[in-house]
Structure 1
Amino acid sequence: MITAQQLTKRYGDKVAVDGITFSARPGQVTGFLGPNGAGKSTTMRMIVGLDRPNAGSVTVNGKPFAEHRAPLREVGSLLDAKAVHTGRTAFDHLRAMAATHNIPVARVHQVIEMTGLESVAKKRVGGFSLGMGQRLGIASALLGDPATVILDEPVNGLDPEGVLWVRRLMRSLAAEGRTVFLSSHLMSEMAQTADHIVVLGRGRIIADAPVSEVLAGGAATRVRVRTPQTGELIGLLAGSTVQISQVEADVLEFTGIDSPTIAEAALANRILLHELTPLTASLEEAYMALTNDSVEYRTEAAR
């Protein structure tokens, strides 16, 4: 379990993390989201003791990271897949890590097999592709069979098969009762992997809730309608609180009105409907709505 209380980090005059309080609980995948510059990486570094907070505290499995006698057995982390001696082979890298915690070589072979590294285990890491480097980083995080796993952008560089593998792995780790803390910019993956999300914006928490609640509150209700009488339906329902967009010649998308109201109005005015589908907001839409005022680096097209 990860517990942060009023966690704060400053770099000179810049407040990178501003008094955040949150928990990542066992048995679920907690997604950690936010725009670039929001403070995610700084927070993850503080969790594993690489940065010292200016105020507040953070514990993993009940203790600060530095107080664990065998941290690899408590917390496995992937923060930078490139933080590996490039002259070593994957096997030697993992074996060296294992030696620091008296982890048997059999476990090294096990995580190599788990992460699909058998064919490159005896090759130097400097020649690895981005995807293979990510797999080695995940193998390193799992080496101590930890209760808590922290991964920053673990699917970066992976092919579709690899992305699916990571998703299933995260779900299986959570199902075993472990704490999984996962950062990613791929909203589609986070929607399928996370149970709960914490969203940072400019160093502060702007959402801390189950994914279902974020989806329910993050965007306006939309309804897709297919009808051969689009003009009549637009004339009937258009108003200051209702937005209508024409997706296809016979398809409309409504915002600001629910499907029963559309159905009742169409029936009363003898308008034929071929489709009436409430549309669930995607996590990406909900995320964009939450972080719209918290983006530090905004492109010209997004303004």
Structure 2
Amino acid sequence: MIVAEHLTKRFADKTAVDDVSFTVQPGKVTGFLGPNGAGKSTTMRMIVGLDRPTSGRTTVAGQDYRALRAPITEVGVLLDAKAVHGGRSALNHLRAIAATHGIPRSRVDEVIDLAGIGSVARKRAGKFSLGMGQRLGIAAALLGDPHTLILDEPVNGLDPEGVRWVREFVRHAAGEGRTVLLSSHLMSEMAQTADHVVVLGRGKVLADAPLGDLVRAWTTTTVRVQSPRATELASLVAGPDIRVTSPAPGVLDVEGATAASIGDTAAHGGIPLHELTTTSGSLEEAYLALTETAVEYKTKEFA
């Protein structure tokens, strides 16, 4: 378990993290989201002792990370895949890390195979592509077979097969009861991976909730209806809390009513239906709505 309590970090007159509190439970994948500059990476760095909080504290499995006797066997961390000696091979990089914790070479071979870098294991890490560098970073994070994983943008630069592998791996790790904190800007991927979501914006916690609850709270469910008597059905379905629009002849988009209630209304009126489809909101829609006023670096919109 990872616990952050009233965590604050200031750099001169800039408050990067502002009174942040959350808990990452074991057995779940917790997605860590937020716009650029929201404080996600700074928070992760404080969890693993790379930055000292201005105030507040973090613990991993009930302890300060810096108090862990063998950190790599407790916490697997990927914060910067480029943090590797470019002149060393991937194999020697991992062997050097393993030697500091008494981890056998057989485990090095295991994580190389697990991360899919066997064919380049003896090549210099400095020559790696972005995706291969990410795989090496993930291999290093897994070296100590840790119970807790903290992964910052692990799928950055990976091809589709690599992205799927990371998704399946972290789901499997959580299924084994491990604690997983995962940061990513890929909302579609996070929607398939995370159980719980913590969202930061301008250094503050904007949301801390199960993924499904977050999506339902910040998006609208729409029912698409097609009928040759759509205009008649629209008048029957309409109500004070129901919004009906018609994007095309014979087509209705209904918000505020369920597909079942619309179907019952149509059946009662003898109105034929050609389509009755429920479209739920996405994590991306919820995220954009939630962080709309918390984006620090906003780009110009196209007309």
TM-score, length of structure 2 as denominator length:
0.93
Per mean C-alpha deviation after superposition, the further-off stretch among 166-175 and 213-222 is 213-222
Offset, 1:264: 4.3
Q: Which amino acid letter does the alignment assign opposite residue 9 of structure 1?
A: K
Q: Which amino acid letter does the alignment assign opposite residue 131 of structure 1?
A: G
What is the aligned partner in structure 2 of residue 28 from structure 1?
28
**Offset from partner CA, 1:57-97 (integer Å, 9 cap, x none):** 00111111111111111111111111111111100110111
Offset, 1:263: 3.1
What is the aligned partner in structure 2 of residue 99 from structure 1?
99
Q: How much is the aligned-residue C-alpha RMSD, in angstroms?
A: 2.0
**Offset from partner CA, 1:266-299 (integer Å, 9 cap, x none):** 3454432112222222111222222122122222
What is the aligned partner in structure 2 of residue 60 from structure 1?
60
Q: Which amino acid letter does the alignment assign opposite residue 301 of structure 1?
A: E
What is the aligned partner in structure 1 of residue 285 from structure 2?
285
Per mean C-alpha deviation after superposition, the further-off stretch among 284-293 and 54-63 is 284-293
Structure 1, unaligned runs of 5 or more: none
Per mean C-alpha deviation after superposition, the further-off stretch among 32-41 and 222-231 is 222-231
Note if 1:203 corresponds to 2:182: no
What is the aligned partner in structure 2 of residue 226 from structure 1?
226
What is the aligned partner in structure 2 of residue 75 from structure 1?
75
Offset, 1:120: 0.2
Offset, 1:31: 0.7
1:181 is paired with a residue of what secondary structure? strand
Alignment of 1:1-303 (within 5 A): 1-234=1-234, 242-246=242-246, 250-301=250-301
**Offset from partner CA, 1:85-144 (integer Å, 9 cap, x none):** 111110011011111111111111110011001000000111111111110000010011
> How far apart in 2 are the matches of 1:236 and 1:82?
61
- Count of residues paired in the alignment: 303
> How far apart in 2 are the matches of 1:259 and 1:302?
35
Q: Which amino acid letter does the alignment assign opposite residue 111 of structure 2?
A: V
Task: Say whether the 8 Å CA contact 2:220–2:280 is kept in structure 1.
Answer: no
Structure 2, unaligned runs of 5 or more: none
> How far apart in 1 are the matches of 2:188 and 2:261?
31
Offset, 1:237: 5.0
